[in-house]
Amino acid sequence: MIEICEVGPRDGLQNEPKLVSTETKVELINKLIDSGIRIIEAVSFVNKKVVPQMADAEEVMRLVPKRDDVRYAGLVLSRSGLERALHTDVDFLHVVTTTSDSFNQRNAKRTVDQAVEELTKVIEEGAASKGVAGVLGTAFGCPFEGEVPLSKVLNVAESFLKAGCTEITLADTTGMANPLQVQNVVASFQQEFGKELKLGLHFHNTRGLGLANILAGYQAGVTRFDSSIGGLGGCPFAPKAVGNVCTEDMVNMFKGMNVETGTDLEGLVESAKWLERSMERPLDGMLMRAGIA
Amino acid sequence: MIEICEVGPRDGLQNEPKLVSTETKVELINKLIDSGIRIIEAVSFVNKKVVPQMADAEEVMRLVPKRDDVRYAGLVLSRSGLERALHTDVDFLHVVTTTSDSFNQRNAKRTVDQAVEELTKVIEEGAASKGVAGVLGTAFGCPFEGEVPLSKVLNVAESFLKAGCTEITLADTTGMANPLQVQNVVASFQQEFGKELKLGLHFHNTRGLGLANILAGYQAGVTRFDSSIGGLGGCPFAPKAVGNVCTEDMVNMFKGMNVETGTDLEGLVESAKWLERSMERPLDGMLMRAGIA
């Protein structure tokens, strides 16, 4: 059984040039739930001036359906983000740092060590009332530094886990991962933290390797994957980091492989088509164009 | 070591709406060779009225550089195609049939059995002077029939091998394959014909699974893959069957995995960009846009 963390409403939308209405965001989340999605990265508690698209995080969380079987996560990048998140109904905090100093300086104006120092306190405090997952960006490479030492990624994960994270997601922020690397990194995490560690993988399809990397992660034992409906997505701080792995394309792969995802593929394709109409631009998803085989 | 069979000049170009000049085709082939490509499906000896884009097959073969280290293949779908091919310098014949009656009726106006009957004679005759590979289309599914029984695909392969083919390529004509199926089909072929069978795989990226399927094939022991520079490609008889696996995106994956392809990635990306300019339309390749990581 695959657990999909749908990041369309957050990582997907945050890069959209046109401001998306709160109503559209809530409708998207409802459609995703109707299609069987149960974990949704719904909002980001980021500086509204930096990412205006996420400014209505509190309002979105007020309007989405509260259901025991749906887990809403909100992105937290700082103490101020935590304080906002704690005043909402998000079930889970996704506390994020990248693992490359060059990238983090550009993205968050601080080194990785500085980020970890602040964020471990954020995690400790957040974990008192919400679940917390640590999200480690540039875990498979940095566009400015190239290779990011695996030891560094493991160290950040260790600090986050000690602070109270119950899950770690490794994010390939700019689409640099390859399947062999995915297998090696996952094996190292399993060796370091045990196979019982709840490990998620977050890939972008920047270089066409999104589904190949998902496959490699699945073969290595990972069952939690981030993806984005319609393949919406990108990172406003990373040029060319467009294209999260597309949810319905990933579900189509797993369905072909007889691996359960708990979702309704037809419903996802219809949601992607609705989203494409709403965004008024072509999305990257392939299945919505080719049709279910 | 991966052997790439570059199909851009044939499967890639044949679907281009604008007629491509012989000069451009020959320049493309030269660029591919300069980038380390050594097996090229260069031409198709198909009815000129059906596929005008391939009408200059003889002329292309007259103008490409003759090199001992480069193998040129020409597609043959019938006796008349064979006769044309035998009058050229192609080194190898790619004799093609699909393995689904519905698809073959639409594509070649005959059943699979009728095609095999004619083509085994074509193979026997061709094998007297050229190498012959059998290419089995719809091997992973048919858009009209759905599943194509594996026994049927194995039977066609057996007939082709008995007639003198030294290689078999399984083609996913409309992008229906998934990684588990690829592993199962390859395992069945290895069991039936032995691991020494030279087996190639030809995928389309129709549903985004091209590289995931290549990965699965590689893991199953296959080292020969068809791909198309820039992701050019499609099948004029199969609507929505656009997008061969992109050569440079595939090479990028294998390079990341430390698997040798004998090619120069930078050269391939430059060739893809040149081709995109020549075609005057955006191609599907991802790496040419994202850049080499």
pLDDT, one tens digit per residue, over A52-77 is: 999 999 999 999 999 999 999 999 99
pLDDT digits (tens, 9 = 90+) for B197-240: 999 999 999 999 999 999 999 999 999 999 999 999 855 455 55
In angstroms, rounded to a whole number, what is the distance separating the alpha carbons of residues A236 and B68?
Answer: 50
Task: Name the minimum distance, in Å, from the CA of A186 to any CA of chain B.
Answer: 15
Evaluate if residue B4 carries a pLDDT over 60: yes
Which residues, in sequence order, are CB contacts of A128 under 8 Å at separation 6+?
none
Instruction: Give per-residue pLDDT as tens, B131-167.
Output: 999 999 999 999 999 999 999 999 999 999 999 999 9
Q: How far apart are the first and last CA of chain B?
A: 22
CA dihedral sign of residues B103, B108, B109, B113: negative
For residue B16, CA distances in Å to B8, B130, B174, B232, B260 come to: 11, 29, 17, 9, 31
A241 has a pLDDT exceeding 60: no
> Residue A172 above 70 pLDDT?
yes
Kindly calculate the radius of gyration of chain A based on its CA atoms and give it in whole angstroms: 17
> What does the alpha-carbon distance between residue B197 and residue B185 come to, in Å, rounded to a whole number?
13
Closest residue on chain B to A258 (Cα): B180
The residue in chain A having the minimum alpha-carbon distance to the alpha carbon of residue B183 is: A257
Q: Which position has the token pair 């050019």?
A: B232
Dihedral Cα B76, B82, B83, B84, nearest 10 deg: 30
Higher per-residue pLDDT: A31 or A244: A31
Treating both helix axes as pointing N-terminal to C-terminal, what angle do B210-219 and B179-193 enclose, rounded to 10 degrees? 40
Distance CA A179, CA A74 (A): 29
Per CB-CB distance under 8 Å, the chain A contacts of B218 are none
Considering CB atoms only, which of B176, B178, B205 is closest to A257?
Answer: B178
CA pair distance B228, B225, nearest whole angstrom: 10
| Cβ partners under 8 Å of residue B18, min gap 6 | B279, B280
CA-based nearest distance A286→chain B, Å = 5
Instruction: Note the residue count of chain A.
Output: 293
- The whole-number pLDDT of residue B16 equals 85
Q: Of B207, B214, B252, which has the smallest distance from its Cβ to A287's Cβ?
A: B207
Confidence class for position A280, pLDDT limits 50, 70, 90: confident
Do residue B240 and residue A289 have CB atoms under 8 angstroms apart? yes
CB contact under 8 A, B179 and A215: yes
At residue A242, the pLDDT reads 64
> How confident is the model over A77-120, as pLDDT tens digits?
999 999 999 999 999 999 999 999 999 999 889 999 999 999 99
At residue A284 the predicted structure's pLDDT band, cuts being 50, 70 and 90, is confident
Residue of A5, A142, A235, A246 marked catalytic: A235
Count Cβ atoms below 10 Å from residue B47 Cβ, excluding itself. 14
Please name which of A280, A256, A16 lies closest in space to residue B141, comparing C-alpha atoms.
Answer: A256
Maximum alpha-carbon separation in chain B: 49
Candidate from B143, B216, B257 with C-beta closest to A215: B216
**B253 touches A at CB < 8 Å:** yes
What local confidence, expressed as pLDDT, does residue A211 receive?
98
Is A127's Cβ below 8 Å from some Cβ in B? no
SS3 content of chain A, % helix, strand, coil (to 5): 45, 15, 35
A234 shares contact with chain B (CB less than 8 Å): no
Flag whether pLDDT at A243 surpasses 90: no
Positions of B annotated as catalytic residues are 235
A249/B208 CB distance under 8 A: yes
- Average pLDDT over chain A, rounded to whole? 95
Continuous segment of H or E residues that includes residue A152: helix A150-163
Q: Do A293 and B143 touch (CB under 8 A)?
A: yes
**Is any Cβ of chain A less than 8 angstroms from the Cβ of B175?**
yes
* Chain B residues closer than 8 Å to A180 by CB: 256-258
B95 beta partners: B76, B134
Closest by CA to B227, choosing from B218, B240, B217, B214, is: B214
- How far away is chain A from the Cα of B15, in angstroms, using its nearest Cα? 17
Count how many pairs of residues, chain A against chain B, have C-beta atoms within 8 Å: 104
- Answer yes or no: do A256 and B287 touch at CB < 8 A: no
**Structure tokens of B45?**
């000896």
**How does pLDDT run across B12-54, given as a tens digit for each residue?**
998 888 899 999 999 999 999 999 999 999 999 999 998 999 9
Q: Which residues of B touch A177 (CB under 8 A)?
A: 256
Q: Please calculate the CA angle A200-A202-A204 and round it to the nearest 5 degrees.
A: 165
Interchain proximity A240–B289, CB inside 8 Å = yes
Cβ–Cβ gap B293/A240 under 8 Å: no
Nearest CB to B207; choose among A179, A180, A249: A249
Q: Does A252 touch chain B (CB under 8 A)?
A: yes
Q: What is the pLDDT of residue B235?
A: 52
What are the C-alpha distances in Å from A26 to residues A60, A91, A282, B31, B163?
6, 16, 21, 51, 62
Which of B55, B25, B52 minimizes the C-alpha distance to B41?
Answer: B25
Does B178 reach chain A within 8 Å, measured CB to CB? yes
| C-alpha distance from A22 to closest chain B C-alpha (Å) | 31
Partner-chain residue, chosen from B240, B258, B291, that has the shortest CB–CB distance to A290: B240
Rounded CA gap, B99 and B142, in Å? 9
Cα–Cα distance for residue pair B50/A19, rounded to 1 Å: 48
pLDDT of residue A240: 53
How far CA A289 is from CA of A233, A274, B150, B238, in Å, comes to 18, 13, 27, 14
What is the rounded average pLDDT of the residues B259-288?
95
Put simply, the answer to whether A174 touches B211 (Cβ < 8 Å) is: no
| Contact status, residue A281 vs residue A41, Cβ threshold 8 Å | no
Euclidean distance between CA atoms B273 and A138, whole angstroms = 28
Check CB contact under 8 Å for B212 and A207.
no
Would you call A175 and B293 a contact, using CB atoms and an 8 Å cutoff?
yes
Chain A residue nearest residue B143, CA to CA: A293
10 Å CB burial of residue B69 (0-12, 13-18, 19+) is exposed
Sign of CA dihedral B219, B223, B226, B231: positive
Task: Determine phi and psi for A43, rounding to 5 degrees.
Answer: -145, 170
Please report, for residues A182, A254, A269, the alpha-carbon distance to residue A213 in angstroms, rounded to integers and kept in the order given. 7, 13, 22
- Asked if B215 reaches chain A (Cβ–Cβ under 8 Å), the answer is yes
The residue type found at A24 is: T
Rounded Cα–Cα distance for residues A90 and A66 (Å): 10
DSSP chain B: -PEEEE-IIIIIGGG-SSPPPHHHHHHHHHHHHHTT--EEEEEE---TTT-GGGTTHHHHHHHSPP-TT-EEEEEE-SHHHHHHHHTS--SEEEEEEES-HHHHHHHHSS-HHHHHHHHHHHHHHHHTTSEEEEEEETTT-BTTTB---HHHHHHHHHHHHHHT-SEEEEEETTS---HHHHHHHHHHHHHHH-TTSEEEEEEB-TTS-HHHHHHHHHHTT--EEEEBGGG----TTSTT---BPBHHHHHHHHHHTT---SS-HHHHHHHHHHHHHHHTS--S-SHHHH---
Of B90, B161, B76, B84, the C-alpha closest to B130 is B90
CA distances from B79 to B40, B82, B120, B162 (A): 22, 5, 10, 18
Pick from A138, A178, A219 the residue to mutate for testing the B interface (most B CBs within 10 Å): A178
Higher pLDDT, A237 or B180: B180
CATH of region A3-290 = 3.20.20.70
Q: Is residue B241's pLDDT more than 70?
A: no
Q: Do A143 and B293 touch (CB under 8 A)?
A: yes
Distance in angstroms (rounded) separating the CA atoms of residues A185 and A196: 16
Q: Quick one: pLDDT at residue A281?
A: 84
Question: What residue in A sits closest to B211 (Cα-Cα)?
Answer: A212
Residue B211 amino acid letter: L
Chain A: give the shortest CA distance to residue B49, in Å.
Answer: 28
Domain-by-domain residue ranges, chain B?
3-290
Q: Does A145 contact chain B (CB < 8 Å)?
A: no
Nearest to A216 among B143, B210, B215 (CB): B215
User: How confident is residue B242, by pLDDT bands cut at 50, 70 and 90?
Assistant: low
